Structure 1
């Protein structure tokens, strides 16, 4: 593998890197801005780009529509446009409609700063972000229009323009409000407006998930996004070479992308597809049977989704006896991947379907490491090696590099990292060192260049002075055949400080109980790591729209008086397995 990596990264090779004046590594070649990258897609012409439940859009149609909308953004208001200027913010809030991509890339072609917002936020959450970024235009679907209408009416300054997609019969009339379906047809011969976009200009503001507090606006330049585009292309090329193939040859890939477009895991997916002229199949919302039908109908070769949906897909395919004959790639992201995924894929499909996972954050604009194929099967608990333009450090308490095998905070530095947080210098200074290293907040270990993420620093349980990594315990629980999901947290203990607790979603009808799970965990975990409290339920675990388990809500399940709270002995230092309690109802 190392010789293949050198083949791709040697001087003059497609993924050669250079060190910039700021000390960061960056790719030596490639487009400089998202505008330049979007302009290359016109060459794919009549190739399908997006296939949804309501139709399909070719690359040619996509580029013409994005170009026309970009012109409308910049045209003066008295000429029928919105009178925006490069650098103004364009908020995008809608489901995974094909028009989401039109809106995002129109902003890039016009030199605006795209601000994709979480489509499942409440009106109050939208209001917070809108007050923070102060947009010049809102690009929303009918569902989201209802949630931003009150904010817009009470905006302290002149209300921004609103363009509504898929209004579906809703009343969206008003001053400075337009319906996308009523705009003039795009002229494919016009192209985008004439705008000079610099590589160091801001391209996006991506709000963090806010699982630990108020979301922060992560600001990324065009130069950073070019790194984010090159990273998946590099991993795809390395994967092809490892399988004896020539990168870039063969049919254009067809993928089922289930991540919400506003999430950086989706950026990794659609950037990779657009770079290769690939086709993306979309679902209006996650439905396992519809996903399997789409895979069959469109000959999907690559699946991309969070681990929860990936496991549901595998479960349903096994129930139906569906061999998934067209799939050759199975990608998970957005949350830690249980080791059982790669084992199940290999047991049922051999090496025909290549498993892949990786590591990325909002602040890295998507995946910056990848683990795939034979490497993944050999090291299923790893997130792989970093991309060429990414440096890794496992840092001790004082920021000093730790040797291989020692657990420390994962620090990253490279091209695809954000420049900081929107109008929040204190948060930026807390997250970045003076020489550009980003403190991820994740605990990790490095061995032979491979990274294994152990836990979030804030999620680690300190039980009687012993460190317990939640990811390790979750991985163990996932190994039980009747466990569909597991979330491990630390809860207060009067003697130990913290105790290990778990909420587990069981296979319906399995009869799984706490004692069985604790005995199973004790087979492979030290006694102090075995959860002292376990709630078993058939209901799904609470997750945000990006698939991350909401640990705050999980912890609340263990507060006295809460439904399903396990009464009685709250855990003993000796790890005794003799206690038995009723399983939670999950209601």
Structure 2
């Protein structure tokens, strides 16, 4: 039944629901605080630190599965034991202390959260990095954050090894999942030698949590993002910021019930929800919006080596997966898979996504194929620690083009180029304020001053807000496209193309794609007398860029690329050369 024909919907306005959820006695109660001189609302009942969440989960859900990967199953108790053991190794063997940067660079193995939580429990700053990056890109990330210790899988170690001599701050590397390898370098350790394989973590001694003075405003993570310069920037977040993202999401989910005239359900101790993890832990969404909330609720995460819809369907049936999604790509592949009806997918309760443009018809397709599942979409950035808004349930069905309305802790406004707020309904640059915002960019005071202003994140997104506060993203002020949830900054790809001796001019644009949202397209002009084929140019780009950044289609122009009077390339004109894909 369409939401607009449901009786008593909406039972209350967004503002009324937000007020009720933020009020005294609510688990999601807000209180006033001053953080770095900025007044804002914060969640009164939020856990103080990230390690506190795992310690709580170990007590509440010791025998529940937390991380499942192929034939490896790790309970909350086993995870906590492994984290404490790994933290002791980091501290006693490698000298990791509060404030040190510890990189985590690997696929979504069970060892990823062990390294992540262990670093945080010591007060170190966990610094996840993109496991798709090339060795050159990883060198930049490790160097820029002055990483002291890196925990990597064997495949990623091979990419880093050739750059290590040029990384004076990187004292040691711990390699995960390399039990059969022998390393003669004393700077290298093996996670398996220290704590064994994942299925044996349950047999580790209990150990004790590090005694560290750690609080909500201490630095927790550096998540790499990118900017118009094309070079990644490290967004520094506190423990409060990361945890507030979870409470933003919880508030929006509870609001869905109030809007239907129902009381938000009480936590059910027998409710064993499970998420199929289809996005990397190194994303803010993977780490902050899935890994940590799952620990808070006692939920299971089922991880795959890489996303494969053919393999996902039997996993959903076997593990009774209740939540799937991540980016629109994943949702489309499940919805349109030819073997979908061969499996019992009735356990699915939610299909949510964000991080990429999504077609409005996606929500109607979800409701058609999975009538009982709650579709969800949201908006956030690395700089907002993932979730700032969430559009879910009936609100999403009725506003499929919106990214949702914020909870009371989050304030959105749209501004003109001078920073003046524009009226509701008018397009402006989106500004966002709330306890989930990062503090700054690591070692980038110039970029920090541009993006972080008096508690606000100046997003670079063009958007409008309706009278009820629902967010509609219009375009991106920053020159960026999003391919399947991965940020691709055009100037970075353009710079790689310019490295080729035959290229005189280059521009990168997004090609609309039904499943991925966008793909990378390029238009180039060759230097007089020079020749290069599309295949050769794509191969050249692949030696400089991660695979997802390499253009899938390159057009050649004999004349100069079109520009405006200021010399800027007219990319809307170039986009017309490409046909939508997928």
Normalised by the size of structure 1, how large is the TM-score? 0.77
User: Is residue 2:221 matched to residue 1:204?
Assistant: yes
Q: Which of 97, 107, 121 is equivalent to 1:109?
A: 121
Deviates more, 1:25-34 or 1:357-366: 25-34
Q: Find the aligned partners of 1:318 and 1:242 in 2 and give their Cα distance.
A: 36
Q: 1:229 and 1:63 mapped to 2: Cα distance?
A: 20
2:23 aligned with 1:10, yes or no? Answer: yes
Secondary structure, aligned partner of 1:18: strand
Q: What does residue 446 of structure 1 align with?
A: 465
What is the match of residue 379 of structure 1?
399
Q: Distance in 2 between matches of 1:47 and 1:584?
A: 45
Instruction: State the SS of the aligned residue for 2:162.
Output: helix
Task: Choose the corresponding residue for 2:557, options 550, 555, 560.
Answer: 560
Q: Which moved more, 1:313-322 or 1:374-383?
A: 313-322
SS class of match (1:218):
strand
RMSD: 3.6
Shift of 1:108: 1.1
**Distance change (3 Å), C-alpha of 1:583 and 1:458:** closer
- Show CA shifts across 1:85-105 (max 9, x none): 111110000000011011100
Matched, 1:425 2:441: no
Q: Secondary structure of 1:24's match? A: strand
- Equivalenced residues, count: 498
Distance in 1 of aligned mates of 2:383 and 2:153: 26
In the TM superposition, what are the counterparts of 1:491-530 in structure 2 within 5 Å?
503=511
Q: CA deviation at 1:501?
A: 8.1
Q: Are residue 30 (structure 1) and residue 49 (structure 2) matched? A: no
Change (3 A) 1:181 1:19: same
Q: Within 5 Å, which residues of 2 pair with 1:90-105?
A: 90-105=102-117
Distance 1:364 1:559, change over 3 A: farther
How has the CA–CA distance of structure 1 residues 248 and 382 changed in structure 2, closer, same or farther, with 3 Å as cutoff? same
Q: Structure 2 vs 1, CA of residues 548 and 279 (structure 1 numbering), >3 Å: closer, same or farther?
A: farther
Distance, in Å, in 2 between the alignment partners of 1:582 and 1:63 is 51
CA shift for structure 1 position 234: 2.2
Q: How does 1:64-103 map to 2 (within 5 A)?
A: 64-75=81-92, 81-103=93-115
Displacement of 1:417: 0.5
Structure 1 position 318, deviation (Å): 6.3
What is aligned with 2:367?
A: 346
Cα gap change, 1:324 to 1:132, in 2 (>3 Å): same
Give the CA deviation at 1:235: 2.7
User: Structure 2 length normalisation: TM-score?
Assistant: 0.78
What is the match of residue 496 of structure 1? Answer: none
Alignment of 1:155-234 (within 5 A): 155-156=167-168, 159-167=170-178, 169-184=180-195, 187-209=204-226, 213-234=230-251
Residue 439 of structure 1: CA displacement?
0.5
Q: How far off its partner does 1:323 sit? A: 6.3
Is 1:410 the counterpart of 2:434? The answer is no
Structure 1 residues not aligned, in runs of 5+: 76-80, 461-469, 475-486, 490-498, 508-541, 563-574
Q: Would the alpha carbon gap of residues 201 and 326 (structure 1) be closer, same or farther in structure 2, given more than 3 Å must change?
A: same
**Secondary structure, aligned partner of 2:471:** strand
Q: Per-residue deviation at 1:559?
A: 3.9
1:436 equivalent in structure 2: 455
Cα distance in 2 for residues equivalent to 1:235 and 1:191? 36
> What is the match of residue 152 of structure 2?
140
Higher RCO (Cα < 8 Å, 6 or more apart): 2
Deviation at 1:188, TM superposition (A): 4.0
CA distance in 1, matches of 2:309, 2:452: 40
Aligned to 2:32: 19
C-alpha change, 1:549 and 1:117, in structure 2 (3 Å) is closer
Q: Deviations over 1:153-182 (max 9, x none)?
A: 33335x512111112745544112111111
Residue aligning to 1:519: none
